[in-house]
Structure 1
């Protein structure tokens, strides 16, 4: 099985180039069309559909309002090999036109990850299953008691 994950976006070419520069993935040229671009590796294909795809997919009325960020209802997590790779890539995202939403940090489940947004506003994570040497995983966050004033 292979996962194909697609983002609907105003400029598929620009978004493909952002992820290509960030992740170093090759373009899946066989998938290219006037409204579609994709990057691929052995395990997945990351596709970028232009806005006319909403109609082609029967998703009319679910487009984001013009001038607004897409809602976050799903996000991709790209698993990298080392904490240094996560930190280095997160450090480059701004220069590529993206945004760091949460800089690299230790998760309670023992991963080193960063939460980012691409230049067209889609949220995604970079993560690795290892913490940097000397960094301990934090305790599970406890919800704050909202009953006290």
Structure 2
């Protein structure tokens, strides 16, 4: 069976963007894999990687570097509805933009929808 090891985010500023997720969610950096074009954060179950634009060439996908629009949705699960409510203002203070305030979905999850400082979409979720 396959498992998810990383979700990688292409970022203009890997230090600032990985720092945003560290400050808001308390994820620790995996310093052993740090490089000038990469930062990795341990989320406890999988990892989030942040690649600098130079990685487009390294991966052979430079022709796609000019693509725009939302390309992924990062979902971060927390232990309670109160934790969703607690983290939203922390994310906003750290530079996030609120797209949809915390609400209960039709599938009975409590979540908020935000953009990180580089415009990447993420949700803070709790399954009720």
TM-score, with length taken from structure 2: 0.93
**Cα shift at 1:110:** 0.2
- 1:23-72 Cα offsets, whole Å, 9 max, x none, are 1011010110010011113311111000000111111121246xxxx511
Query: Any gaps of 5 or more consecutive residues in structure 2?
Result: none
Pairing 1:1-149 to 2, within 5 Å after superposition: 1-64=3-66, 70-130=68-128
TM-score, with length taken from structure 1: 0.80
Give the SS at the match of 1:42: coil
User: Could you say if the C-alpha distance between residues 98 and 53 of structure 1 is closer, same or farther in structure 2, counting changes exceeding 3 Å?
Assistant: same
Query: Any gaps of 5 or more consecutive residues in structure 1?
Result: 131-149
**Cα shift at 1:2:** 4.2
RMSD of aligned alpha carbons: 1.3
Number of residues paired by the alignment? 126
Q: Which has the higher helix share?
A: 2
Distance 1:121 1:41 in 2: 21
- 1:43-102 Cα offsets, whole Å, 9 max, x none, are 11111000000111111121246xxxx511211100111011111111221210111111
Instruction: Find the counterpart in structure 2 of residue 140 from structure 1.
Output: none
Q: Which runs of 4+ in 1 moved over 3 A?
A: none
The one of the two structures with greater contact order (alpha-carbon pairs below 8 A, sep at least 6) is 2
